[in-house]
Structure 1
């Protein structure tokens, strides 16, 4: 072996171990960098020659990464849905005595004093006061539900914009991964960025990924609609339908109903729950006003007048039917309360007011059989110029079988609380699962300072040995040159 060949081998070894040490130093520098996957040196012997750095491999477990995306997707979906459920539940604050149930009790109980003394104006004023409070509570709940819906829709819109920014970023990363495919240092940096972007996207929407041989990634929705194919991006768009419900489209395709997870999917589930709560509140209001008005119209007030509706439609409302958004107390004069059934004894007869009190627990018989048939046929009936619509006629039957209080508790409050309890558990479980997967990924791909120090020591010794070979070879060359002289 010639001295020059030995010098070449030592030089090659020196450069190889220098690159390997630089990589170890990079690992140690990024010890606390979130999302950094450590790089592993793969050294190989050159046949009958020196050593070279075959590749710098980034530690990456595809199976664990896929599990992380799925778990993250589920966790954020449950958390988004849970947030909406908590807002709905806070409206039904009956435990603190400020919910709709309390206002409903006060309303019906206020009729008792009128029943005891039908011509007591103070008692009649109290009825109007309690009715106004009940109407205020109903309209406040309706407006609050609408506000939840609007704010959630805006959140969906904002998150879709964030999603579009991330998909553009992913397309940019794909281009750089392909461009720097042969530059391991830059390539691994972009692969870290690729995984970070995918994690963020998975927190917004349920997706599937396809990692190609060149390490670029194609991104699809869970049902196969493409979001990113190499550097081609399909933006998600936001719009609202005639009912104010959000509509999400990708490439012109409506994907609203197929989004089940991620923050956006969780919010969409929440809006469905809000719509359900609004429909139940509207049916509750329509049924309450229908039976109270029907019974009240059959009585006589202190002036001997009959056919008076207790509740009415807000004149500022554009709707022709009464619901939780436009209900008002139609009576402003306490003398208009129709307590009597006998026009000859309007100041002493309390027969009609007793029938109104009975409505609290039983609405049977208030509507005639023909009226009930008409209502249940298409969910709508008009009496005295006011139209009452039901979103679901089953709700009327439930109130009739139970009572307003039981319907409110068992069909409006309890399902939300039960659903919230279930989602809280699922959110916690998915959080634990995500944390477990993340910990496993970190165990595999994060930097271990002790291991890196050992690697660095080994590489330094090899570097020093290569340097020593160069020094010895140089001395031998000098000796040979001196002999020639």
Structure 2
């Protein structure tokens, strides 16, 4: 141990202090960098000279420059961002949907319903006035058009969400690719175990944070360790070189390799793609259910995850709203037409019924058709009922097959003494005949009730329903057309000529009995069958209120969750910043301390220099 060793000791102190000052300066200049992690210099005493009297120190050595990164706090923060992004996106879309259903005092579908039934009431009060028919038709157009618009706006929002979903999947893939490239750079740079790619790891953290806002992620980093530099600096470091990033068990980054998420449009329409993961054997895994938080999960919760193959979905909040609006529209059409069928017509012809063969049971065709019976009435020109017959419907009833139960055609055409007068020429089957025609090529059929050859004219037919919904479901006499919110509209003939609107049950002018039933319809409870929420019983306006309340309830729930997630996120960010963020006051204090260390080390060198000069002077 000589005097020059003392010089080396001072020099090691100068070098260490200089690196500490540089590192502190780097922290200060990056104080406003959101994704910068403050750094610290790890010093270690050099191995001393081992002498009999004790070890003699040889100065200090800078071992590493490390990030003050707490992996546990960081993972909590990324998780909180994922949840915050999820509820934030849902809140944005649900608020937009809520705004599409304002239902203010003088606007909205609820007001349209009031105006619609008010128009029926005015018409019932003045059935001879042609102007009332025009007013009623206009009210009907406004109501049905607003229902169409509401449904189409929901579909437009779904389409927008889907477009954003496609772009977000691309963004996830791009971020994953960048992370894999950073991992490759880290593997190259950190071959020497004393070298840390701190800035690259900050960049990777930034990408992970961006990714966590898009979806739920799990990152696995080997060689996680805990180290305490100072009394308040206990942190968990991610110094490992092996890295895996996954989404609920699906690996998208494995070291320097990345595996993109792909999109399948094979079984969907309108660009509604399904995300999948391709295995090494090229088999595909639908990973829709793997997204549980983040923006993508919110999009799938809104748009739907499971496609039907016809452009619609079996799930999703927007699907629920559309299904409920469809149930509202279908019941409105069915019940309106069921009442309208009680008005006398020269004949009745149903809609074209898809996939309804002769032996298809009515309740299998449409669950809205219920057990019970309806009454077929025949009127003469004087408005008198000359024949009537009750026809029953149950689970086995078909349109034209009696092998397992009754059929409508058979029960209608049966030679039966309805009047009980022993006269076989004045019953229902004598005035009208039921025919069901099915086309196996188009797979459609329709049922008709037309005059017989015995009484080809001068008689009218009407159906008074007693809860079966038969006439309204099959469209035998229509005031409204369509079977969904997207297709509901006034009947085409009525839409072109309001004079065709009927108000009575009999063919007599001035009869308003049917119109009065239509007015009373608004106070009756009916079955509503939504594919998403099931069957319920409500009034027409009551079900619409349920529909809008459901949207408002979902929106309020998401807003409440978002407030909670915002608070949790703020806490986790503060915790992370307390460990990794740059505190200017602390750094300035350290700068003064390291400056003093530098000056003290320099003092050692100047002292040694004087000692050397003294030795030289002695030699002279």
1:193 is the counterpart of 2:220? no
1:218 is the counterpart of 2:244? yes
Q: CA shift at 1:106, angstroms?
A: 1.0
Secondary structure at the aligned position of 1:56 is classed as strand
Greater gyration radius? 2
The count of aligned residue pairs is 447
Q: CA shift at 1:121, angstroms?
A: 0.7
1:257 is the counterpart of 2:289? yes
Secondary structure at the aligned position of 1:458 is classed as helix
**TM-score relative to the length of structure 2:** 0.68
- Please name the residue that 1:292 is paired with: 336
Secondary structure at the aligned position of 1:31 is classed as coil
Q: CA shift at 1:117, angstroms?
A: 1.4
Matched-pair contact (CA < 8 Å) for 1:260–1:269 = no
- Please name the residue that 1:405 is paired with: 541
- Please name the residue that 1:383 is paired with: none
CA distance in 1: counterparts of 2:506 and 2:574, whole angstroms: 79
Q: CA shift at 1:22, angstroms?
A: 0.9
CA distance in 2: counterparts of 1:141 and 1:295, whole angstroms: 26
- Please name the residue that 1:319 is paired with: none
- Please name the residue that 2:406 is paired with: none
Q: Matches of residues 53-92 of structure 1 in structure 2 within 5 Å?
A: 53-92=62-101
CA distance in 2: counterparts of 1:465 and 1:59, whole angstroms: 27
CA distance in 2: counterparts of 1:289 and 1:143, whole angstroms: 18
1:421 is the counterpart of 2:431? no
- Please name the residue that 1:452 is paired with: 587
1:238 is the counterpart of 2:263? yes
User: CA 1:5 to 1:236, structure 2 compared with 1: closer, same or farther past 3 Å?
Assistant: same
- Please name the residue that 1:309 is paired with: 478
Give per-residue Cα distances to partners, 1:322-381, cap 9 Å, x unaligned. Answer: 3222222121212211111111x22x11011112222222266xxxxxxx9xxx9xx8xx
**5+ residue gaps in structure 2?**
49-56, 224-239, 279-283, 304-315, 347-380, 382-459, 462-475
Higher relative contact order (CA 8 A, sep 6+): 1
- Please name the residue that 2:108 is paired with: 99
- Please name the residue that 1:160 is paired with: 169
Give per-residue Cα distances to partners, 1:190-225, cap 9 Å, x unaligned. Answer: 111121111111100111111122245311112x01
- Please name the residue that 2:323 is paired with: 279
- Please name the residue that 2:574 is paired with: 439
User: CA 1:38 to 1:96, structure 2 compared with 1: closer, same or farther past 3 Å?
Assistant: farther
CA distance in 2: counterparts of 1:163 and 1:45, whole angstroms: 46
Secondary structure at the aligned position of 1:206 is classed as coil
Matched-pair contact (CA < 8 Å) for 2:42–2:63 = yes
Q: CA shift at 1:483, angstroms?
A: 5.5
Secondary structure at the aligned position of 2:9 is classed as helix
Q: CA shift at 1:183, angstroms?
A: 7.7
CA distance in 1: counterparts of 2:607 and 2:11, whole angstroms: 13
User: CA 1:186 to 1:61, structure 2 compared with 1: closer, same or farther past 3 Å?
Assistant: closer
CA distance in 1: counterparts of 2:178 and 2:95, whole angstroms: 34
CA distance in 1: counterparts of 2:516 and 2:79, whole angstroms: 60
CA distance in 2: counterparts of 1:257 and 1:44, whole angstroms: 50
Give per-residue Cα distances to partners, 1:295-340, cap 9 Å, x unaligned. Answer: 22331489x9876421225xxxxxxxx3222222121212211111
CA distance in 1: counterparts of 2:253 and 2:296, whole angstroms: 18
**Aligned partner (choices 596, 601, 608) of residue 473 of structure 1:** 608
Q: Matches of residues 124-163 of structure 1 in structure 2 within 5 Å?
A: 124-163=133-172
Give per-residue Cα distances to partners, 1:127-179, cap 9 Å, x unaligned. Answer: 00000001110110011001000000011111111111111111112122222
CA distance in 2: counterparts of 1:454 and 1:117, whole angstroms: 91
Between Structure 1 and Structure 2, which shows a larger proportion of helix residues?
Answer: 1
**Aligned partner (choices 203, 215, 219) of residue 209 of structure 1:** 219
Aligned-residue CA RMSD in angstroms? 2.5
CA distance in 2: counterparts of 1:37 and 1:71, whole angstroms: 19
Give per-residue Cα distances to partners, 1:33-70, cap 9 Å, x unaligned. Answer: 11212112222222220111122221111221121121
> Which segment drifts farther, 424-433 or 213-222?
213-222
> Which segment drifts farther, 426-435 or 84-93?
84-93
- Please name the residue that 1:367 is paired with: none
Structure 1 residue runs of 4 or more that deviate by more than 6 Å after TM superposition: 304-307
**5+ residue gaps in structure 1?**
314-321, 365-371, 380-389
Matched-pair contact (CA < 8 Å) for 1:297–1:338 = no
Matched-pair contact (CA < 8 Å) for 2:66–2:196 = no
> Which segment drifts farther, 107-116 or 327-336?
327-336
> Which segment drifts farther, 64-73 or 82-91?
82-91
CA distance in 2: counterparts of 1:299 and 1:64, whole angstroms: 73
CA distance in 1: counterparts of 2:502 and 2:290, whole angstroms: 53
- Please name the residue that 1:41 is paired with: 41
- Please name the residue that 1:123 is paired with: 132
- Please name the residue that 2:422 is paired with: none
